[in-house]
Amino acid sequence: MNFIKRLFKKSNKGISNLANTNCEIEKSRIFDLPKINIKTIEEESYFIEKMGDNYYPNGPVWMKNTLKYDEKGNKLELTVFYSDGLVASKEIYNEFGNIIEDIAYTKGSGLYPEKSAYKLGSKSVHKYDDKENEIEFSRYDSDGVFIEKTTFKCDENGNKIECFFYDSDNVLESKETHKYDKNGNEIEYCSYDQNGVFEEKTTFKNNQMGNLIECNIYDSENVLESKETYEYNDFDEKGNWIKRTKFEDNIPKLVTNRNIEYF
């Protein structure tokens, strides 16, 4: 299951809402760079299209994101946009980097939904322990009706190592486990059904800069299902990447361009 598929799987579970760029781990890696002096990061991702024997990054826009920081390097706001520029979701953070406001918007169905169908889709409530680690995430629809809940278990470094997903009846649907290296980069993700039966696994590799360079996705039989690799094509004068190409089974699929503004 690739990252795009995992996005929509997880969007119904709670780690990240529908608007988040990829799965939670890739979103954290997208913005996981030295924050000192960074004011804003803007990202735009395009699908790559094949024309003849060549590939061109001129396909439709998949998603746009903007992340803002204060002068101390703390996250202030993450806004994710649909390809037409409408806001898909927005997260507001407190001084500890925890989400204090989390809303998502939906559009009409169909290939070309009318903007008149654009509306508030859901609101989320996040709970934290006394160490400011997130321990619970609950999502409600626009009428305030409970949709789903996720509870988290964290390690001593605040990394989420277990996630439990519950449906609108508060019944356990599935479970995830996450492993990290000494630098806090996720190196393995596993998912299980409500009975604890293994469903899939993804392993991650990083380069020396901590940038994600490879993901291997395995099925329920632990057989390699697909492989995703990332190439970093351009960097700014601060050493932060500003262009990245994603490959699925060695075929280019997505190009992400960044614009980083510094204080």
Domain containing 19 equals 3-262
CB 197 within 8 A of CB 191: no
The structural domain count of the chain equals 1
Look at residue 114 in the predicted model and tell me its pLDDT: 56
C-alpha 67/C-alpha 90 separation (Å) is 10
C-alpha 183, offset from chain centre: 19
What CATH code is carried by the domain that includes residue 41? 2.40.160
Read out DSSP for 101-130?
EEEEEE--SSSS--GGG-EEEEEEEEEE-T
Q: What is the mean pLDDT of residues 4-21?
A: 35
Q: In Å, what is the CA distance from 18 to each residue of 6, 15, 136?
A: 11, 10, 18
Task: Kindly tell me if the per-residue pLDDT of 3 is higher than 70.
Answer: no
Bridge partners, 254 (sequence order): 47, 246
182-196 tens-digit pLDDT:
988 999 999 999 999
118-145 tens-digit pLDDT:
788 899 999 999 999 999 999 999 999 9
Tally DSSP H helices, then E strands, for the chain.
2, 18
Burial class (CB in 10 A: 0-12, 13-18, 19+), 115: exposed
Look at residue 49 in the predicted model and tell me its pLDDT: 85
Poorest-pLDDT segment among 57-71, 80-94, 143-157: 57-71
pTM: 0.80
pLDDT band at 27 (very low <50, low <70, confident <90, very high): very low
Looking only at the bridges linking them, the beta strands covering 251-262 and 241-248 are antiparallel
